[in-house]
């Protein structure tokens, strides 16, 4: 896979992702007046040679009344912030306007189209670079303050942005950021499974769902190498593997003794029912902890329990006992 085909770039080549980016992370009033049906990706002839060299940058236009608004998304796959970003943003915007005039998309005598620059950053170090060239310029005499340019940009520091509410609203862009923020393999898989489930119900999102699968596999999973996760976007339920993953995680946290002990006792006695009982009790213990720590809602826990019973991991009696003990 080449850099040009980076999964993130493919995700933001879908109008649904850009629409949710505008709805969730640009000004709310703008989202209300923009016609999301008019979203149009700017093709190669729309961009200068300088900008074409930046293969990870994505440019869209959207109608705002009778006016076109340009959204410039600059994707930074860097481990640390770039101090030159305010200057780069100012430069790229100027180049974009120049090219619009050169290609006769706009007349030099007409007002320039508004451009909203956004920087998507996924590094571990917090972004503390000025978000406006104005704040990067040194002291200037009071009488010349009006000469200081102002070119702000929106920074989306995806590891630190609060997206929980927007995820519940099924915002696709927020869901991507939440996948990146997942601190445990369990949390990562569960979110991926839920996201895949509701995307699969909409045929128009099928290509986007496939690209989420690529991002999950090539960009997100490498950060969770301690446990081999199945890819929920490929329909790999693998319930038993999922349970083994929970056990491994909780063992690392010192919480899985009950599971391991139950299984070991069953093996020692050579009684199949002992093994099943130990596993069922362990699963109940895990899900109870997820409820207490608010990792899962009651509805999600019940859905998991029912899937486990349906796939033969626990019995019908265990299902009823779990529902009773967990109060779901």
pLDDT score recorded for residue 293: 65
29 and 135 within one domain:
yes
Is 211 a member of any domain?
Answer: no
Element holding 85 (H helix, E strand): helix 85-102
- Higher per-residue confidence, 47 vs 130: 130
Give the pair of three-digit tokens for residue 278. Answer: 């130990």
Is 18 a member of any domain?
Answer: yes
Q: Are 231 and 14 in contact (CB under 8 A)?
A: no
Is 212 a member of any domain?
Answer: no
| Residues 6+ away with beta carbon under 8 Å from 68 | 61, 62, 113
pLDDT tens column, 258-285: 445 544 444 344 334 443 445 566 666 6
Give the pair of three-digit tokens for residue 140. Answer: 């200037």
Bridge partner residues of 68 (DSSP): 63
**pLDDT grade for 68, boundaries at 50, 70 and 90:** confident
Is 267 a member of any domain?
Answer: yes
Q: The domain containing residue 85 runs over which residues?
A: 3-140+147-181
pLDDT at 66 over 60: yes
**pLDDT grade for 45, boundaries at 50, 70 and 90:** very low
pLDDT at 221 over 70: yes
Is 189 a member of any domain?
Answer: no
Is 129 a member of any domain?
Answer: yes
Is 195 a member of any domain?
Answer: no
pLDDT score recorded for residue 313: 59
pLDDT at 104 over 90: no
Cα separation of 201 and 44, whole Å?
33
Q: State CA 236 to chain mean position distance.
A: 20
**pLDDT grade for 2, boundaries at 50, 70 and 90:** very low
Is 188 a member of any domain?
Answer: no
164 and 69 within one domain:
yes
DSSP secondary structure code for residue 235 in this structure? T
pLDDT score recorded for residue 28: 82
Q: State CA 233 to chain mean position distance.
A: 14
155 and 75 within one domain:
yes
Q: Which 3 state secondary structure label does DSSP give 192?
A: helix
Question: How many domains in the chain?
Answer: 2
258 and 164 within one domain:
no
**pLDDT grade for 39, boundaries at 50, 70 and 90:** very high
156 and 29 within one domain:
yes
269 and 171 within one domain:
no
Q: Average pLDDT of the chain?
A: 77
286 and 169 within one domain:
no
Element holding 325 (H helix, E strand): helix 316-326
pLDDT score recorded for residue 320: 80
277 and 165 within one domain:
no
pLDDT tens column, 237-253: 444 455 555 556 555 65
What's the average model confidence in pLDDT over 307-325? 71
pLDDT at 15 over 90: yes
* Tally of CB atoms within 10 A around 282: 22
- Higher per-residue confidence, 86 vs 223: 86
Q: Are 74 and 68 in contact (CB under 8 A)?
A: no
pLDDT score recorded for residue 44: 47
172 and 49 within one domain:
yes
pLDDT at 118 over 80: yes
């Amino acid at each position: 896979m080449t850099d040009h085909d980076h999964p993130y770039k493919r995700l933001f080549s879908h109008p649904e992702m850009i629409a949710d980016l505008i709805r969730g992370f640009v000004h709310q009033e703008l989202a209300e007046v923009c016609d999301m049906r008019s979203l149009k990706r700017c093709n190669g002839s729309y961009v200068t040679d300088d900008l074409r060299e930046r293969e990870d940058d994505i440019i869209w236009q959207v109608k705002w009344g009778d006016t076109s608004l340009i959204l410039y998304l600059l994707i930074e796959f860097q481990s640390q912030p770039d101090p030159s970003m305010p200057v780069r943003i100012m430069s790229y915007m100027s180049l974009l306007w120049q090219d619009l005039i050169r290609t006769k998309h706009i007349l030099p005598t007409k007002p320039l189209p508004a451009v909203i620059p956004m920087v998507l950053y996924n590094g571990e170090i917090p972004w503390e670079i000025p978000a406006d060239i104005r704040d990067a310029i040194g002291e200037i005499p009071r009488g010349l303050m009006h000469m200081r340019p102002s070119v702000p940009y929106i920074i989306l520091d995806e590891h630190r942005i609060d997206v929980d509410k927007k995820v519940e609203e099924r915002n696709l862009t927020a869901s991507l950021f939440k996948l990146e923020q997942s601190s445990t393999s369990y949390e990562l898989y569960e979110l991926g499974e839920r996201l895949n489930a509701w995307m699969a119900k909409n045929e128009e999102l099928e290509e986007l769902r496939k690209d989420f699968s690529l991002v999950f596999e090539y960009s997100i999973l490498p950060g969770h190498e301690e446990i081999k996760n199945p890819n929920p976007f490929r329909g790999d339920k693998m319930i038993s593997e999922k349970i083994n993953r929970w056990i491994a995680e909780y063992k690392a946290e010192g919480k899985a003794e009950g599971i391991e002990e139950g299984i070991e006792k069953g093996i020692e006695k050579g009684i199949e029912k002992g093994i099943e009982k130990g596993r069922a009790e362990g699963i109940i213990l895990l899900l109870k902890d997820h409820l207490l720590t608010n990792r899962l809602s009651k509805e999600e826990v019940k859905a998991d329990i029912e899937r486990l019973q349906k796939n033969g991991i626990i019995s019908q009696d265990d299902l009823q006992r779990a529902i009773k003990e967990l109060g779901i």
